[in-house]
């Protein structure tokens, strides 16, 4: 089973979109983290710089400095930021209310950022006196800010993902609509419908396929018609002179009946009949080789058997031996070429009459349970190794008869083209001897129509 082009395109495009979305999200997240950190760090630097003038009063007037610092910080974010003004010996000279009493970091006269437990700290040396200004922001606050920023950047993309999948699906299906119509049209073509595909609105990429398929269908149709015509003409051209020779020879044999040449004349008549039979088989073989069994129509096998069995019943000693068993009573319909299926069934009946034991019945059975037609005749058990060779052309096995050895090869070719199989069995089913041939039709090509006209789906065989 092949894959669906539409599904594959949808999944490929959706996967590519998801990967791109992931890359975009990661990039957006990284940029957001970078930008937010930079902004928040800048805020720390800004607060530290605003506190810088306040440190000038640190020694002389600590209350003034405190007031100044409070005023400055109030304009910023007193809940998020804390500050400490630290003496060179590590004593916290001044701090915001939310700052701890102990220094954020050990006093190091170095400007810069540090991450300590729970805080992001910026250290700024004061202008004089070796004092340090440390402005800190709780890590939790920063993490929350980052989470919010990343969420705002990525969430819209997350919503966009299923939407983009739906859009891709719609776009692909819409684009593939003409291809699907072309696919449906081609899918409807089979042995019973070889008409050209009509003009369809389609993209330029599909036009060559449409043209090529139509050209192929036209060639196939013409080839089948030509083959059929050739087969019919060949049959006519070959059969008519053979008929004339046989008839003339039969008249002559009748005229010679009381002479010494009568026996020879009868032998010639017999040879002509054998030659006619061989010519018929070769014509049937060439028809099967030409693929004429590929065409399809609804064929009622019951009616077909009526016509064919009527022919065989006229043969001496056959009428009482030949019986049809069809428990279904109604029609047994198969999709096949009527003439080619007729050739197949005729060959089976011929073989049964020719090779079957003269005192044993010939049973023709339609089996709707297994979608098959069985023809069995009386005979000794055919060894398995012989059975395997019987489908080969010009093989008669151990059987004696006037056949050309082509019958089963013809039947097998026809059944292959019908999508069915030819099965041989010996002993016949339910017997200790005999020979049985089965034409097994595909369940899809078989339909049982009951006696009352009701259609019954065939069982999968």
User: Which residues are near other proteins by CB under 8 A?
Assistant: 232, 235-236, 238-248, 250-251, 254, 272-273, 276, 280, 304, 307-308, 314, 338-339, 342
Min. distance of Cβ 231 from other proteins in angstroms? 9
Q: What residues have CB less than 8 Å from 175, skipping those under 6 apart? A: none
Min. distance of Cβ 345 from other proteins in angstroms? 9
Question: How many other C-beta atoms lie within 10 A of the C-beta of residue 341?
Answer: 25
- Burial class of 174 by CB neighbour count within 10 A (0 to 12, 13 to 18, 19+): exposed
Min. distance of Cβ 286 from other proteins in angstroms? 13
CB nearer to other proteins: give 105 or 246.
Answer: 246
Tokens for 419? 């999508």
Min. distance of Cβ 368 from other proteins in angstroms? 22
The DSSP H or E segment spanning 426 is none
Question: How many other C-beta atoms lie within 10 A of the C-beta of residue 358?
Answer: 10
Which among 291, 299, 289 has a CA at the least distance from the CA of 445?
Answer: 299
CB nearer to other proteins: give 304 or 411.
Answer: 304
CA 194: distance to chain centroid?
24
Min. distance of Cβ 17 from other proteins in angstroms? 59
Min. distance of Cβ 319 from other proteins in angstroms? 13
Min. distance of Cβ 255 from other proteins in angstroms? 9
CB nearer to other proteins: give 200 or 307.
Answer: 307
- Torsions phi, psi of 134, nearest 5? -125, 120
CB nearer to other proteins: give 72 or 308.
Answer: 308
Min. distance of Cβ 239 from other proteins in angstroms? 4
- Torsions phi, psi of 15, nearest 5? -65, -45
Distance in angstroms (rounded) separating the CA atoms of residues 39 and 10: 42
Count of CA atoms in the C-beta half-sphere (13 A) of 370? 11
Min. distance of Cβ 300 from other proteins in angstroms? 11
CB nearer to other proteins: give 79 or 236.
Answer: 236
CB nearer to other proteins: give 187 or 241.
Answer: 241
Distance in angstroms (rounded) separating the CA atoms of residues 448 and 225: 30
Which among 147, 145, 134, 62 has a CA at the least distance from the CA of 105?
Answer: 134
CB nearer to other proteins: give 280 or 350.
Answer: 280
- Give the three-class secondary structure for 455: strand
Min. distance of Cβ 383 from other proteins in angstroms? 34
* Cβ 330 vs Cβ 453: under 8 Å: yes
Tokens for 51? 């506190």
CB nearer to other proteins: give 218 or 311.
Answer: 311
CB nearer to other proteins: give 199 or 316.
Answer: 316
Min. distance of Cβ 283 from other proteins in angstroms? 8
Which among 240, 241, 245 has a CA at the least distance from the CA of 271?
Answer: 245
Q: What residues have CB less than 8 Å from 236, skipping those under 6 apart? A: none
CB nearer to other proteins: give 82 or 304.
Answer: 304
CB nearer to other proteins: give 132 or 305.
Answer: 305
Distance in angstroms (rounded) separating the CA atoms of residues 316 and 263: 22
Question: How many other C-beta atoms lie within 10 A of the C-beta of residue 229?
Answer: 10
Min. distance of Cβ 440 from other proteins in angstroms? 21
Question: How many other C-beta atoms lie within 10 A of the C-beta of residue 114?
Answer: 16
- Give the three-class secondary structure for 284: helix
Distance in angstroms (rounded) separating the CA atoms of residues 371 and 332: 9
Which among 451, 403, 416, 249 has a CA at the least distance from the CA of 341?
Answer: 416
CB nearer to other proteins: give 135 or 344.
Answer: 344
Distance in angstroms (rounded) separating the CA atoms of residues 345 and 407: 10
């Amino acid at each position: 089973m092949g894959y669906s082009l539409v599904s594959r395109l949808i999944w490929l495009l959706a996967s590519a979109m998801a990967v791109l979305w992931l890359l975009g999200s990661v990039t957006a997240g990284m940029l957001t983290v970078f930008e937010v950190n930079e902004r928040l760090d800048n805020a720390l630097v800004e607060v530290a710089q605003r506190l810088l003038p306040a440190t000038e009063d640190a020694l002389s007037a600590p209350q003034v400095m405190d007031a100044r610092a409070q005023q400055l910080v109030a304009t910023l974010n007193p809940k998020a930021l804390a500050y400490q003004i630290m003496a060179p010996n590590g004593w916290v000279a001044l701090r915001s209310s939310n700052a701890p009493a102990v220094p954020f970091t050990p006093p190091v006269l170095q400007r810069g950022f540090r991450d300590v437990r729970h805080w992001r700290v910026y250290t700024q040396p004061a202008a004089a006196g070796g004092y340090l200004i440390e402005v800190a922001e709780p890590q939790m606050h920063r993490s929350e800010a980052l989470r919010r920023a990343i969420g705002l950047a990525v969430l819209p993309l997350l919503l966009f993902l299923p939407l983009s999948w739906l859009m891709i699906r719609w776009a692909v299906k819409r684009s593939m609509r003409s291809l699907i119509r072309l696919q449906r049209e081609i899918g409807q073509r089979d042995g019973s419908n070889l008409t050209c595909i009509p003009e369809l609105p389609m993209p330029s990429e599909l036009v060559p396929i449409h043209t090529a398929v139509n050209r192929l269908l036209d060639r196939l149709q013409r080839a089948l018609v030509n083959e059929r015509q050739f087969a019919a003409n060949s049959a006519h051209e070959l059969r008519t002179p053979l008929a004339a020779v046989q008839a003339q020879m039969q008249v002559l044999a009748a005229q010679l009946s009381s002479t010494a040449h009568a026996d020879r004349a009868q032998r010639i008549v017999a040879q002509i009949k054998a030659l006619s039979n061989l010519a018929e088989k070769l014509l049937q073989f060439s028809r099967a080789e030409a693929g004429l069994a590929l065409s399809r129509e609804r064929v009622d096998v019951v009616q077909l058997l009526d016509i064919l069995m009527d022919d065989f019943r006229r043969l001496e000693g056959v009428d009482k031996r030949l019986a049809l068993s069809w428990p279904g009573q109604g029609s047994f319909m198969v999709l096949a070429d009527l003439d080619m299926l007729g050739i197949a069934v005729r060959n089976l009946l011929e073989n049964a009459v020719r090779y079957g034991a003269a005192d044993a019945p010939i049973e023709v059975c339609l089996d709707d349970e297994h979608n098959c037609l069985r023809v069995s005749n009386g005979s000794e058990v055919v060894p398995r190794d012989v059975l395997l060779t019987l489908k080969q052309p010009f093989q008669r096995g151990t059987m004696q008869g006037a056949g050309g050895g082509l019958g089963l090869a013809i039947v097998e070719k026809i059944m292959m083209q019908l999508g069915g199989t030819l099965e041989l069995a010996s002993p016949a089913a339910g017997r200790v001897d005999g020979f049985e041939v089965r034409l097994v039709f595909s369940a899809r090509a078989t339909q049982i129509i009951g006696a009352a006209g009701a259609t019954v789906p065939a069982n999968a065989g």
